[in-house]
Amino acid sequence: QDLSGSITTPDVKLNLGGEFIKESTATTFLRQRGYGWLLEVEDDDPEDNKPLLEELDIDLKDIYYKIRCVLMPMPSLGFNRQVVRDNPDFWGPLAVVLFFSMISLYGQFKVVSWIITIWIFGSLTIFLLARVLGGEVAYGQVLGVIGYSLLPLIVIAPVLLVVGSFEVVSTLIKLFGVFWAAYSAASLLVGEEFKSKKPLLIYPIFLLYIYFLSLYTGV
């Protein structure tokens, strides 16, 4: 007796959200034996598609605004300077400290690590002193304010290169830069809660920026 016929691929359809999608024999075979997970495709997570700056929590507009607040500390200019203290960040002050380290190199790369160390532990000293005096300030806030307030020393650095041969003028510019940096930092950190104890916090801030300047000038 002549037997003939044909074997066709089963037409298997998968119901996904009301739509029928045709599956191949291999797909059906894997699903029947519990290996269907090999064929699953994960949906893209929106969290994985964030820009790099957003992933690192870097807000360039916020950093630029804080830089202007530090460089122009006069209240009459209308800047909300308290944002430097109340909304601290890490990358902005770190960039300022690293830039100050770069211009302080003079071929001595060890200066970079030394300046970063002074920034971290100098800020810690100011923080501990502020807490002892009764100030309500966090270490992150002090770290950000001290770091951003190095900007005046960066501004006077190219001027010192030009007038370096004039000792009197150079000294006056250095004093101006230190007072500028110390005033910018102290006006943010030294609040009304210190009252008569303000000099006890302003003085070490002033000394800290003198030390930073000495690392740049080599004095």
Q: What is the 3 state secondary structure string of 54-116?
A: HHCCCCHHHHHHHHHHHHCCCHHHCCCCHHHHHCCCCHHHHHHHHHHHHHCCCCCCHHHHHHH
Query: Do residues 24 and 36 touch, judged by C-beta distance below 8 A?
Result: no
Tokens representing 50 are: 């964030």
Please name which of 181, 96, 89 lies closest in space to residue 140, comparing C-alpha atoms. Answer: 89
Confidence at residue 124, expressed as pLDDT on a 0 to 100 scale? 92
Domain range list for the chain:
54-69+76-217
pLDDT at residue number 41: 59
Nearest to 102 by CA among 54, 146, 150: 150
**Which pLDDT value is given to residue 49?**
62
Tokens representing 105 are: 């190199």
Q: Is the entire prediction scored with pTM above 0.75? A: no
Low pLDDT (below 50) residues in the chain: 9, 11-14, 16-21, 219
Task: Provide CB contacts within 8 A for 187, sequence distance 6+.
Answer: 73, 81
Strand ranges in the chain using DSSP code E only, listed in sequence order: 12-16, 19-23
Per-residue model confidence as pLDDT tens digits over 28-57:
766 676 656 555 655 555 555 666 667 667
